[in-house]
Amino acid sequence: MERSLLKEIILEQEKDRTGLDAGVPREALSGVYRYASLPHAVIVSGVRRSGKSTLLNQIIMDLYKGGVYYFNFEDERLVDFGVEDFNRLYEVFLEIYGEKRVFFFDEVQNIAGWEVFVRRMIGKGCKFFITGSNASLLSKELATKLTGRNISIELFPFSFKEFLSFNKFKLSKNSLSLTAERAALKKHFSEYLRFGGMPEYLKYQDTALLKRVYEDILYRDIVARYGIKRVKPLRELGLYFLSNIGSTFSCNNLKNVLGVGSTNTIKSYADFLENSYLIFLVNKFSFSLKEQLYSLKKIYCIDNGLAESVAFQFSKNKGKFLENLVFLELRRNFSEIYYYRTTNNLEVDFLVKSGKKEMQLIQVTDSMDKEKTRQREISAILKALDELKLKSAFILTEDSEEEIAAEGKSIQVKPVYKWLLENAVK
């Protein structure tokens, strides 16, 4: 690429970056700061528009006021940029800013072979902060290419605590107990439940922004990246997944519904959608790895607002939105999340593992008011506790709170908003 064009892009991007709003301090910052002093590349991955660029800017403002090399590869003028251009980019950086030792690369996955330059410069003592909208940035393959000199962090849309901070609601020790504060908190939670945590959408309240994120994921992160020729089945699969959060699916059935010739195509498309952070697929828990792999998977979405803008009607699916919210909080904190099906075919929404033996069961329902619903949820939990030889579990609801003792087991019923703020699950 021409040096003059690279210089133009660098200067424009620096002007745009320094004009950014500082934004809500992200919870992920603590992890970033912990790794800032290490020589490893810090890689932040997450769905498009979840605040990765703002996070990079927060890091620069907090830790590197003396200046860094910043470059965003999400620029249409970089269509011809190749791995051979990285050294030219470095030379232009030197020309503009003099010698710096810290690089910030945004959406670097757009350039094939980028890790070659990064590995070489790390060897020279440079520090890198890198973002991308693809889960492959967390892969073992990447760790191999960077010879293990990388640390990965995932950035999700706003958590409930970050949502409250965005809305300038200050939590106090008494927020959950004082009537007026609790009422305000519940109002904010109702909005968070429906609108999700995508920062740009929350700022401008225009669903067209969320629909644009969805289109960019399909066409820029998947169709262009993987060279997909038949786009219609991919679009239909994405719409199906976002319309069925909290449900199980069969690749074989979807193959017939979408008119796709092979279950492998469905599996590949599902992998692409998951790799782009649009959806998450959860296995059924079993002590048999083979059964885990071959059982039906459950579907969740990266953001409630995104799901509703593309597919859902919130009023008809509040229970599913609650379940999706609980999943996202669990996914922020745990790598092993499953659903559980008892021997008499009752389902528990989540089984979370931490360590080899520690397990936690969580059931989600919008209300425990109806006796039929109450008995169903309690029966499923008690049966699962018995089969797994566990003593306690959670049932998370929109607003109910109580403690149930039955059959020598303890079930804590708690509102989701309270559970989110208490970090009840460790």
**pLDDT tier, 171 (very low <50, low <70, confident <90, very high otherwise):** confident
Residue range(s) in the chain whose domain bears CATH number 3.40.50.300 = 3-154
Q: What is the mean pLDDT of residues 270-279?
A: 96
Beta bridge partners of 409: 406
Q: What is the mean pLDDT of residues 184-192?
A: 96
pLDDT for 423: 61
Tens-digit pLDDT profile for residues 2-28: 999 999 999 999 999 998 888 999 999
Tens-digit pLDDT profile for residues 374-399: 999 999 999 999 999 999 999 999 99
Is residue 120 predicted with pLDDT exceeding 70?
yes
More confident residue, 135 or 347: 347
Residue range(s) in the chain whose domain bears CATH number 3.40.91.50 = 317-426
pLDDT for 179: 81
Q: What is the mean pLDDT of residues 326-340?
A: 96
Q: What is the mean pLDDT of residues 66-74?
A: 95
Tens-digit pLDDT profile for residues 244-262: 999 999 999 999 888 888 9
What does the mean pLDDT of the chain come to? 93
**Which two structure tokens, joined as six digits, stand for 282?**
């959860």
Q: What CATH architecture does domain 317-426 belong to?
A: 3-Layer(aba) Sandwich (3.40)
Is residue 282 predicted with pLDDT exceeding 50?
yes
More confident residue, 424 or 13: 13
**pLDDT tier, 426 (very low <50, low <70, confident <90, very high otherwise):** very low
Is residue 425 predicted with pLDDT exceeding 50?
no
3-154 carries CATH number 2.160.20.10: no
With a pLDDT cut of 70, the percent of the chain lying above it is 98
Three-class DSSP labels, the chain? CCHHHHHHHHHHHHHHHHCCCCCCCCCCHHHHHHHHCCCCEEEEECCCCCCHHHHHHHHHHHHCCCCCEEEECCCHHHCCCCHHHHHHHHHHHHHHHCCCCEEEEECHHHCCCHHHHHHHHHHCCCEEEEEECCHHHHCHHHHHHCCCCEEEEECCCCCHHHHHHHCCCCCCCCCCCCHHHHHHHHHHHHHHHHHCCCHHHHHHCCHHHHHHHHHHHHHHHHHHHHCCCCHHHHHHHHHHHHHCCCCEECHHHHHHHHCCCCHHHHHHHHHHHHHCCCEEEEEECCCCHHHHHHCCEEEEECCHHHHHHHCCCHHHCHHHHHHHHHHHHHHHHCCEEEEEECCCCCEEEEEEEECCCEEEEEEECCCCCCHHHHHHHHHHHHHHHHHHCCCEEEEEECCCCEEEEECCEEEEEEEHHHHHHHCCCC
Is residue 233 predicted with pLDDT exceeding 90?
yes
